[in-house]
Amino acid sequence: MAQKFVDLHVHTNASDGEYPADEVIRQASEVGLAAVGIADHDSVDGIDAALEAGEKFCVEVIPGIELSSELGTSEIHVLGYFIDWHDKKLRVLLNIIQDVRKWRARKMVEKLQGLGLDIAYDEVLAEAGDAKAICRPHIARVLLKHGYIEKFQDAFDLYLKSDGPAYVKRYEMSPADAIQTVRRVGGIPVLAHPIFAQADEMLPAYVELGLRGLEVYHIKHDESANRRYEELARKYGLLITGGTNSHGSKDPVGTVRVPYELVEKLKAEHKLSSGKLGLYK
């Protein structure tokens, strides 16, 4: 029997992904994935459409989210799998975060204008389309269209990174708040791309806060990083996950794929901790 593979970190245009959920799932089917974890930034708006497309294309969809938090000057992203995305308190929180994201985007545009870059906030909104979670990549794409940068990453290196001249802080959420938010809605909290999250030093503290998994495999991890995070996951008894962190054509869904057995372990953990697995079948 052929082994099944999954990509557990995929974005749609409900946040900063390039494609709508149904197209993401179609692409996942085309590259032979058995399952996909939808994990948009501070948004669950793509999940229902992904589930519908999953039935059409025979791809299992794992409902998730990627919550953005901060520790000092570092961004700490927490993935949540098998969340109750209809939870009313979660929806209220996400609405607040999304409103702050809009305010933040406007302020960053104003800073860019002050630097002599003639872009408009309405252009950013148009780039975001139906996405309620406006993200820095939306601004980066506008800068690229205007020719102010040569490549996408330049927007971050020159202007939008945390110490960049146009950076504005997002909604302030601590890693503890992000982890507990995921747990409160029945999800499994997993630390995303640990190479960027001070994982080596901070992982024991995250585990104390309730972290249950580690994204060992990621498009930015080399083999050495994979081995290091495998060892850390085993040391702290954490579930192992992995995914592309796909946003579209530059990092297509399925670029990083992991065995389906990792999903089975997530399901077992979810069933054990919440008894709500049937909600997501």
pLDDT at 199: 76
pLDDT at 188: 97
One-letter amino acid at 140 equals: A
Q: Which helix (H) or strand (E) holds 89?
A: helix 88-114
Q: Which CATH architecture has domain 95-160?
A: Orthogonal Bundle (1.10)
Q: Which CATH architecture has domain 5-92+175-280?
A: Alpha-Beta Barrel (3.20)
The pLDDT tens digits along the chain (281 residues) read 579 999 999 999 999 999 999 999 999 999 999 999 999 999 999 999 999 999 999 999 999 999 999 887 778 999 999 999 999 999 999 999 999 999 999 999 999 999 999 999 999 999 999 898 999 999 999 999 999 999 999 999 999 998 999 999 888 899 999 999 999 999 999 999 998 876 788 899 999 999 999 999 999 999 999 999 999 999 999 999 999 999 999 999 999 999 999 999 999 999 887 644 444 43
Q: Where are the domains of the chain?
A: 5-92+175-280, 95-160
- Within its chain, how far is the Cα of 162 from the centroid? 18
